[in-house]
């Protein structure tokens, strides 16, 4: 992980590698909704979250212990509140995905772009011109998702799962913005930040399993579940949240949200290539809007 950070620093003036890695996160997240839905066929939401984040924490633990020995984590406590926010995000997202369609989830979660831009403007003094420009890019991207996911006919008919996803969108905005605020000028490695966040999420899930009635910690024995989970842990959790935490400490939260918010575009590409689905002209135009906002954001230097 720290080698990745050195690679970022080495090339930050010659090639937008941070932006490219955020787009790679969006690609992985674009595949995660369908895979999460399939994993939940084998187990409950709480068991799924507790296993996923326990595995993530254990993968990072050796590097975290090394960072503590080297004195890099004097302010490790700042990770705790962001871990609680992340817990709420995943409970909302996983409960939401289990009770709504992938297209509804993709559109509603994209609203986090607008929420992030508004929250950052309220918390961080910045030039009005710069904020209006980012807000325009966010609006273009959300409109693209609106067209891509075919929400024109039922945008106002929300079910229980949709409200969970909408809550996750609000929490995502808080996550990137507060991570920036809490970790600024603090002594904590990005690896430790990611690990403590994962530990908090896993702990909250396990605690709920213990105290809630009719909750059982039964491990699935189906190979398909574990293969799916390994993919989600390695690429959609461990890698994704490390990159998010690294990037948000070095650039604008809204820029991070814009680049990672392109996940519906890559989800559509995944469905097109892997599942042999087709896109309508309206969906292609929507994909074009998302791509436009991504290109402009990637080329814009801060």
pLDDT in tens, 213-237: 877 778 899 999 999 999 999 999 9
Confidence of residue 89 (pLDDT cuts 50, 70, 90): very high
Examine residue 9 and state whether it is found in any structural domain, yes or no: no
Average pLDDT over residues 46-72: 95
Phi, psi angle pair for 152, to nearest 5°? -65, -30
State how far the Cα of 12 lies from the Cα of 8, in Å rounded to an integer.
6
pTM, 2 dp: 0.80
Contact 52, 237 (CB under 8 A): yes
Kindly state the DSSP code that residue 78 receives in the 8-state scheme.
Answer: G
pLDDT in tens, 127-181: 666 667 777 777 888 887 777 766 555 555 677 888 898 899 889 989 988 998 8
Examine residue 80 and state whether it is found in any structural domain, yes or no: yes
Kindly state the DSSP code that residue 100 receives in the 8-state scheme.
Answer: S
State how far the Cα of 256 lies from the Cα of 271, in Å rounded to an integer.
24
Q: What's the domain range around 83? A: 21-299
Examine residue 278 and state whether it is found in any structural domain, yes or no: yes
Examine residue 280 and state whether it is found in any structural domain, yes or no: yes
Examine residue 10 and state whether it is found in any structural domain, yes or no: no
Residues 6+ apart with CB under 8 A from 251: 18, 302
Q: Which two tokens stand for residue 9?
A: 């620093």
Examine residue 108 and state whether it is found in any structural domain, yes or no: yes
Count of structural domains within the chain: 1
Examine residue 241 and state whether it is found in any structural domain, yes or no: yes
Task: Reply yes or no on whether the pLDDT at 26 is more than 80.
Answer: yes
**Cα-to-chain-centroid distance, residue 161:** 18
């Amino acid at each position: 992980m720290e080698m990745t950070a050195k690679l970022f620093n080495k090339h930050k003036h010659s090639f937008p590698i941070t932006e490219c890695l955020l787009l790679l996160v969006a690609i992985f997240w674009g595949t995660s909704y369908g895979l999460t839905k399939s994993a939940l066929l084998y187990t409950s939401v709480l068991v799924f979250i507790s296993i996923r984040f326990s595995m993530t924490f254990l993968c990072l633990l050796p590097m975290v212990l090394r960072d503590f020995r080297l004195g890099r984590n004097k302010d490790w406590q700042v990770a705790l509140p962001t871990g609680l926010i992340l817990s709420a995000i995943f409970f909302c997202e996983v409960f939401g995905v289990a009770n709504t369609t992938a297209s509804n989830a993709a559109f509603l979660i994209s609203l986090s772009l607008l929420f992030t831009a508004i929250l950052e403007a309220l918390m961080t003094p910045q030039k009005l011109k710069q904020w209006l420009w980012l807000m325009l890019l966010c609006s273009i991207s959300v409109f693209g998702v609106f067209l891509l996911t075919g929400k024109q006919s039922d945008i106002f008919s929300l079910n229980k799962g949709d409200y969970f996803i909408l809550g996750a969108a609000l929490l995502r905005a808080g996550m990137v913005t507060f991570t920036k605020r809490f970790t600024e000028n603090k002594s904590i490695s990005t690896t430790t930040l990611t690990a403590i966040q994962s530990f908090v999420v896993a702990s909250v899930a396990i605690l709920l399993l213990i105290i809630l009635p009719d909750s059982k910690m039964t491990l699935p024995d189906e190979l398909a579940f574990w293969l799916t989970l390994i993919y989600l842990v390695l690429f959609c959790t461990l890698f994704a949240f490390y990159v998010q935490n690294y990037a948000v400490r070095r650039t604008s939260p809204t820029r991070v949200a814009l680049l990672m918010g392109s996940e519906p575009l890559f989800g559509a590409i995944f469905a097109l290539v892997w599942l042999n689905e087709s896109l309508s002209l309206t969906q292609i135009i929507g994909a074009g809007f998302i791509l436009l906002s991504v290109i402009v954001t990637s080329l814009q230097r801060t």
